[in-house]
Amino acid sequence: MHTIEPFYSWRKHYIASDDFRSPFFGRIYSEFEFTNAVYNYYIHPQWDEFGSETLYLKILYACYEKKFVIIELIGEWNDTLYNDIMYLRREVIDHLITNEIDKFILIGENVFNFHSSDDSYYEDWFNNIEQGWIFALNFQYHVIEEFINAGINNYMNFNAEDTLIWRKLKPNKIFEIIQRTFFNKISNI
């Protein structure tokens, strides 16, 4: 796991540690000192910790004009033992909502497992972004199944049918594709 780096090709467009509205503003990273781990497996030092013992993230891009953020995740999303959603909400999401972000794209291809608790933090998150949405992009199928079994699909949209080759696109293009997909699903209901 230590070789899996957060996606870095958009750094010319956005760096969370340089963004005064980011919860990671001013954070300094090491390229060589591995301190964070998911269980016994060290992860790359560029991932951001936010209080969880098993889940880490990187804000890849934030657009305050269009009110969206793209967040890449790594690890095990464990609400049962570690209440990861509480830490994610309190330390990252609430900060972004305060800065008028209401559309969240969560990239989860490096989220290896999900263990649910209750859905109250997800419901509250969803209710706090009235005009916005939460979209889980490229999560592994078994993780999506766990989200659905826990009822998280009431608050978060998924692309369960196929994956989006997002690394070849610019952040605004990804946002446009998801916005179009999301609204097409809503209008077909």
Q: Which two tokens stand for residue 68?
A: 């969206």
Q: Using one digit for the tens of pLDDT, what is the confidence trace for 95-108?
A: 999 999 999 999 99
Bridge partner residues of 104 (DSSP): 69, 134
The reply to whether 9 falls in a domain is: no
The reply to whether 10 falls in a domain is: no
The reply to whether 178 falls in a domain is: yes
The reply to whether 3 falls in a domain is: no
The reply to whether 34 falls in a domain is: yes
What is the domain extent for residue 68? 16-187
The reply to whether 1 falls in a domain is: no
Q: Using one digit for the tens of pLDDT, what is the confidence trace for 113-167?
A: 999 999 999 999 999 998 899 999 999 999 999 999 999 999 999 876 666 789 9
3 Cβ partners below 8 Å, 6+ apart?
A: 44
98/8 Cα distance (integer angstroms): 26
Q: Using one digit for the tens of pLDDT, what is the confidence trace for 39-76?
A: 988 999 999 999 999 999 999 999 999 999 999 999 99
The reply to whether 140 falls in a domain is: yes
The whole model's pTM is what? 0.94
Please state the domain count of the chain: 1
Q: Residue type for 173, please? A: K
The reply to whether 58 falls in a domain is: yes
CATH number at residue 50: 3.30.750.24
